Amino acid sequence: MPPIDDSKLLEGLTNSQLEAVTHLDGPMLVVAGAGSGKTRVVTRRLAWLLRQGVWPEQILAMTFTNKAAREMRQRVQELSGKQPRNLGTFHGCCARFLRFDIEKADFGRSRDYSIYDDSEQLAVLKNCLKDLSLDNKSINPRELAQLISKSKNQLLDFAEMLEQQPYCPHPELLLRLYRNYENKMRQLNALDFDDLLYLVVKLLQNDPALLEMYRHRLQYLLVDEYQDTNHLQYKMVRLIGGQRANIHVTGDPDQSIYSWRGADYRNIMDFVRDYPQAKVVKLEQNYRSTQNILEVANSLISRNQVRIDKNLFTENEAGAPVECHQVADGQAEAQWVLNKARELQAQGQALRDIAVLYRTNNQAREIEEALIHANLPYQIMGGLRFYERKEIKDFIAFLRLKANPRDEMALKRVLTCLKTGIGPKTLQDLLNQADKENLDILGFLAERLPLLPCCAGKGKRAAQMREFSQWCQGLRELEDESLGTLCRAVFDLSGLHDAIEQQYDKIQAEERLQNLDSLLSRVQVFTQENPEGDLVDFLQDLSLVSDVDKHDPEANSIVLMTLHSSKGLEFPFIIIAGVEEGLLPHNNSIHDPAGFEEERRLFYVGITRAKKAVFLLYCRSRCIFGKWDNNRQPSQFLDELPNRKNCYKPAKQHNQENYHKYQPSWKMQNDESLQNQDMDELPTIIED
């Protein structure tokens, strides 16, 4: 598609959008309400800058999901015929910077480092505990991982961070474990997710010449979803922005819902304090939702004290009122969802148009069971992700060992897939020997293993070890002429195809092999989008996949996800389950003013995902942590919705006082839409 001219580039923009798009120099804050065309403004601004003569290399544009980055990249290309080279997620951009510059500092890593996910980080921490003869009961590795993450995100020395904890038993032991962990990660040539941001900020802080080079090269910064930035991201933007401060941030404090992972909405609230000369533009016209949905959302969020005042409006139709329904229990809730899906399907709506949102993952179980029993297709976000499947992680381990020959975690997984004769004790001895000889473990196994006493003799184990040594040499020698060819060669060398066929029955084997084929197809897509990308770049891309990235909008299936996962998505029909005290707002936040306001923002985010209709459900009885609570209360947030029938229909009062968990759920619920149906039309729900 040829680039459009400048008049088309600015065509159809409102005055506020036009002001945001055509701002050139100096700081700007765009307060973009839900569904207000933020992506349109961001992409047109990038295209406008490029058409003003700004070089693609001079722009740094960062967002939070690969999905959003891909959409931006594609739209900017269509609008300008060019692409900003540094456009991606925060973690993706930082990973790219570190590939070039990590060896300029004494971080103990080379550019072919691996990125460890949460499970791999925990495995390293458990090894550190084992090295000190400790178990998981002595020190919780998950809690230790959280402390490490907290110290890095706040740019604090770990010892200093421990001193700030209100109660911290064994601080000397925790500090020792932390140092062991960092040493181990250096030996593995690996980074955790927080390191990607942390080490970039440290690089820029400690190397004035490098910082000046970044400032000269990246003269225009654009940050999407600025309300979700943490202290590290805030610091990085401030450092690169420098005195020039050509910083354009977009976001919405009303959609700040990630404080639990370090996001600080004060970054957007204090933007004008940080940059007194900043221009502020508000985008308040909503293009997504009906008037009734917005009226309900505005009424809810107006109760928050800490926010930038705005009032969303729309020229869309009034639409159907937001409906609230009280049902008897979790099974009745699942039955209600099922019947509503069938009703909408009968009206000609696609199942992909329906999303069911909930506060906690365990709320999905009964809904999922009902959909399975009714044979209605669904996709669940936040469950077992594609890249967490065993066969996928196995193959990725082979690829990672090829890319990073020091990756001990990848090697351990490879050893579980091959018959090598190497057990845990032998492996540890080999790792120690490789470390003494200052060799990466893959090179050591390929070159030195056949010379060791354990490989001598004619026994089966020695023969397996010699054969494995030859395999390691074969992996090292694979040529990377093209990424697709290399990945296929690694797959062939891995022997995974035959192993899966031997280990599983025909149906399971076919499914797992299809998953591996999908991953190889993903290599081809990556190559098309990144012609210069190599294996390290591809593995980096896989490491940074998020929940939103795995949503398939083409699949005709109902979508189940948490409210947190729904941010950045939109659907014609939204069902929010479990709008109850203790769930929404969550018990953990009810007595914390800041946390309580965030729970309200979370509810607001869920409502504003909808285009056509919103349905709110709450139960009178629910099984929580294995115990029945027969006196569930509707969320106090429901009292904050406008009590006007034209835009909001509250639930009728429930007049049943006695509940029994084994009573059929279709008899217990109090919703008219189910009461009027013949019981034979209701499928049996799987009992606990």
The helices-and-strands tally (H runs, E runs) of the chain is 30, 17
Global confidence as pTM:
0.79
**56 CA to centre of own chain:** 27
198 falls within a domain = no
Is there a single domain that holds both residue 94 and residue 121? no
* Among candidate residues 250, 267, 283, the one where a domain is terminated: 283
For residue 380, the domain's CATH number is 3.40.50.300
108 falls within a domain = no
Is there a single domain that holds both residue 652 and residue 563? yes
* Among candidate residues 283, 316, 341, the one where a domain is terminated: 283
The angle, 0 to 180 degrees and rounded to 10, between the axes of the packed helices 460-477 and 483-494 is 170
CA distance linking residue 273 with residue 359, whole number of Å: 34
CA-closest candidate to residue 96, choices 85, 105, 104: 85
- Indicate the number of domains in the chain: 4
Is there a single domain that holds both residue 315 and residue 378? yes
DSSP state of 378: E
For residue 161, the domain's CATH number is 1.10.10.160
pLDDT higher than threshold 80 for residue 660: no
Higher pLDDT, 675 or 595: 595
pLDDT of res. 546: 59
688 falls within a domain = no
One-character DSSP codes across 190-222? EEEHHHHHHHHHHHHHH-HHHHHHHHHH--EEE
Q: Label residue 449 by pLDDT band (50, 70, 90).
A: confident
Is there a single domain that holds both residue 537 and residue 557? no
Residue 523's domain comprises 387-543
Is there a single domain that holds both residue 441 and residue 320? no
CA-closest candidate to residue 289, choices 606, 24, 551: 606
Q: How many CB atoms lie within 10 A of CB 590?
A: 13
Is there a single domain that holds both residue 645 and residue 509? no
* Among candidate residues 264, 283, 302, the one where a domain is terminated: 283
**425 CA to centre of own chain:** 36
Task: State the catalytic residues.
Answer: 38-39, 224-225, 255, 609
| Phi, psi at 439, each rounded to 5° | -115, 145
Is there a single domain that holds both residue 49 and residue 147? no
Is there a single domain that holds both residue 435 and residue 572? no
Higher pLDDT, 123 or 166: 123
Q: Label residue 84 by pLDDT band (50, 70, 90).
A: confident
Is there a single domain that holds both residue 184 and residue 136? yes
CA distance linking residue 563 with residue 110, whole number of Å: 39
Are 331 and 669 a contacting pair, CB within 8 Å?
no
105 falls within a domain = no
Pairing relationship of beta strands 279-283 and 59-63 according to DSSP bridges: unpaired
CA distance linking residue 242 with residue 223, whole number of Å: 15
ω into residue 453 within 30 of 0, thus cis?
no
CA distance linking residue 198 with residue 153, whole number of Å: 7
For residue 531, the domain's CATH number is 1.10.486.10
| Phi, psi at 384, each rounded to 5° | -70, 115
Higher pLDDT, 675 or 320: 320
Give 253-294 pLDDT, tens digit per residue: 999 999 888 888 899 999 999 999 999 999 999 999 999 999
pLDDT higher than threshold 60 for residue 549: no
CA distances from 353 to 252, 314, 552 (A): 25, 21, 12
pLDDT of res. 680: 28
Percent of the chain residues topping a pLDDT of 70: 91
**Two tokens, residue 70:** 């891909």
pLDDT higher than threshold 70 for residue 382: no
pLDDT higher than threshold 60 for residue 674: no
Is there a single domain that holds both residue 649 and residue 661? yes
Is there a single domain that holds both residue 332 and residue 255? no
Q: What is the mean pLDDT of residues 325-346?
A: 93
671 falls within a domain = yes
pLDDT of res. 673: 36
CA distance linking residue 576 with residue 615, whole number of Å: 6
DSSP state of 255: G
180 falls within a domain = yes
CA distance linking residue 539 with residue 543, whole number of Å: 6
1 falls within a domain = no
In the chain, what is the straight-line distance between the N-terminal and C-terminal CA atoms, in Å? 56
Residue 248 has, within 13 A of its CA and on its CB side, a CA count of 26
Q: Which of 102-116, 378-392, 540-554 has the lowest mean pLDDT?
A: 540-554
Contact residues for 202 (Cβ-Cβ < 8 A; gap 6+)? 105
**Two tokens, residue 461:** 């184990």
Q: Label residue 462 by pLDDT band (50, 70, 90).
A: confident
Q: Label residue 6 by pLDDT band (50, 70, 90).
A: low
pLDDT of res. 547: 53
Q: What is the mean pLDDT of residues 103-122?
A: 89
Is there a single domain that holds both residue 213 and residue 65? yes
pLDDT of res. 372: 87
pLDDT of res. 661: 32
Are 295 and 311 a contacting pair, CB within 8 Å?
no
197 falls within a domain = no
Q: Which of 356-370, 520-534, 574-588 has the lowest mean pLDDT?
A: 520-534
